[in-house]
Amino acid sequence: MKNLLAAVTTVLAMVSCAGGGEYPVDALKPFEADGKYIVPVKDLSLTLNKIDGSFFLMGETFDLGVVRNPTIEPAFLDGYAIGTAEVSKDLWAAVMGGSGGKGPVAGVTWADAKKFTQKLSRLTGIPFRLPTEAEWEYAARQDSSMPGSLWEWCENPQDDGSRPLRGGCQGEKNCKPNTRKTLEPHTKSPSAGLRIAVSTGEPAPSFWKEILVENKVPREVSDGKRETIKVADVSFKMIPVMGGTFSMGATSQVNLKVVKEDELPVHEVTLDNFKIGQTEVTCELWNAVMGTLPPLLLGGNSPVGNVSWYDVQLFIQKLNNLTGRKFRLPTEAEWEYAAKGGEKSRNYCFAGSDFSAEVAWCEMGDTKTRQPCGYPPNELGLYDMSGNAWEWVQDRPGPYAEEAQTNPTGPLEAAAGDVRVIRGGSINAKWPACRVSNRNENYASKVKSTIGFRLAL
């Protein structure tokens, strides 16, 4: 959790301005209906766009172009506003003095940019500042005109004392929302300018912190009924699982020689009623919700892959907005209970059989997942809980305890970075990985064609 929290961007509601005291956020007047905020500055004006607080993935994400080794950081943002354009020469002159002119001001140092924001704040009574890198990138992902004009200074100090710039400049290739470099704060670059930001005082939606940091799982009270849900023209089934107490861990007596240490000790877990997807989420359903497919996937009815744990959370929130429901990932305990067959369990080694060849797409020698329902389901009517695609669950990994638990959600911290559990094995995994008690894990930012997920309610 420490690494995750380090990536969280916290925007202060008060900004200290040298020589000018503190300016409360309520100095802001109401925004226009279109989300614009216009500030008079002498005989000029400054226009900003309102950005609602949110969570997003910043860095070398696949939606900005396929990369071999994506670098992804989760970022929480409180509400803010950011300039619709870079600070102009005229606005700079109105605040700092000078002759002004057409176009954006350039050739300013980070230190000069800070002085400008401080003087502008004193002049207007509004706590203006430079945007953080996360704020800049999030805004640029929504406004394609931001990258590629000038490098723009951002707030964040770096470990070596330098300051970041974002966006690239004219004449450079591949200027994207995640394009960045750093310079010393007193370096004057002819291609460096700035854009203004201000906090609005609106916090990010609380559910993001609850799900991603505090590991709280939003729940519906299950009615115990099977249901079919439709999004656009795509339907999927949710299967009821009656709660109860079961033995979690390596309970099957088949192939005990491959049991791993993290599957022990076997311990009692009690779960409430819930529902779980009959199949893994398909490319078809992902596209219906998100409007686009993950990279390198051709679509169809096969399980979706190349989605990080964070991508899955973004998908779930969009699905919930579309349906008004509380879909989520299953907890690790719910996943194992369902894979073992719930209250109908026959304690098989795999989901529905003691033989992987009877129920699991695995050891196929390739990474192309297969359409669901190709093998018989398990006792609850669930398909492919062994094999086909690994499945993200909600929990961070942690050792089992001997004590009985009720509705466990896993530890609040992972041993290294933000790591999450994956379950079930995959199309190219060896059969031991497909056992219902087998546990594996991966970084929450990791994408792989053989890692997908299924939904819970």
> Euclidean distance between the first and final Cα of the chain, in Å?
25
Count CB atoms within 10 A of the CB of residue 324: 6
Closest CA to 72 of 281, 280, 312: 312
What pLDDT, in 10s, does the model give residues 216-243?
888 899 999 999 999 999 999 999 999 9
Q: In what order do the strands lie in the sheet with 234-241?
A: 227-231, 234-241, 274-277
Q: Is 140 helix (H, G, I), strand (E, B) or coil?
A: helix
**pLDDT computed for residue 25 by the predictor:** 53
pLDDT at 65 over 70: no
What pLDDT, in 10s, does the model give residues 386-425?
999 999 999 999 999 999 999 999 998 876 678 999 999 9
pLDDT at 23 over 60: no
pLDDT at 66 over 70: no
Rounded to the nearest 10°, the torsion over CA 250, 252, 256, 258 is -60
Q: In what order do the strands lie in the sheet with 151-153?
A: 180-183, 163-166, 151-153, 192-193
Residue 421 φ then ψ, to 5°: -80, 140
List, in order of start, the domains of the chain with CATH numbers. 2-204 (3.90.1580.10), 212-453 (3.90.1580.10)
Average pLDDT on 437-451 reads 92
Tokens of 414: 């992972």
Beta bridge partners of 277: 238
Burial annotation 389-425 (CB, 10 A radius, 16+ → b, else e): bbbbbbbbbbebeeeeeeebbbeebbeeebbbbbbbb
Average pLDDT on 248-262 reads 92
What pLDDT, in 10s, does the model give residues 81-121?
999 999 999 999 999 998 889 999 999 999 999 999 999 99
Rounded to an integer, what distance in angstroms lies between the CA atom of residue 270 and that of residue 406? 5
Burial annotation 363-381 (CB, 10 A radius, 16+ → b, else e): bbeeeebbebeebebbbbe
Confidence of residue 18 (pLDDT cuts 50, 70, 90): very low
- Among 169-183, 338-352, 417-431, which stretch is predicted with the lowest mean pLDDT? 169-183
Which residues have CB under 8 Å from 385's CB, separation 6+? 335, 338, 339, 351, 352, 378, 391, 424, 436
DSSP label at 69? S
**pLDDT computed for residue 336 by the predictor:** 98
- Among 13-17, 123-127, 211-215, which stretch is predicted with the lowest mean pLDDT? 13-17
Rounded to an integer, what distance in angstroms lies between the CA atom of residue 445 and that of residue 69? 11
**pLDDT computed for residue 27 by the predictor:** 63
∠ CA 159-160-165, nearest 5°, is 85
Return the higher-pLDDT residue of 18 and 24: 24
- How far out from the chain centre does Cα 313 lie? 6
**pLDDT computed for residue 6 by the predictor:** 40
Q: What does the mean pLDDT of the chain come to? A: 89
**pLDDT computed for residue 241 by the predictor:** 98
Rounded to an integer, what distance in angstroms lies between the CA atom of residue 414 and that of residue 401? 16
Closest CA to 311 of 293, 332, 335, 330: 293
**pLDDT computed for residue 261 by the predictor:** 95
β-bridge pairing 405-406 and 390-392? unpaired
Rounded to an integer, what distance in angstroms lies between the CA atom of residue 75 and that of residue 92? 31
Q: What share of the chain is helix, strand, coil (3-state, %, to 5)?
A: 20, 25, 55
Residue 264 one-letter amino acid: L
pTM score, whole prediction: 0.84
pLDDT at 215 over 90: no
Q: CA quadruple 108, 134, 197, 290: dihedral positive or negative?
A: positive
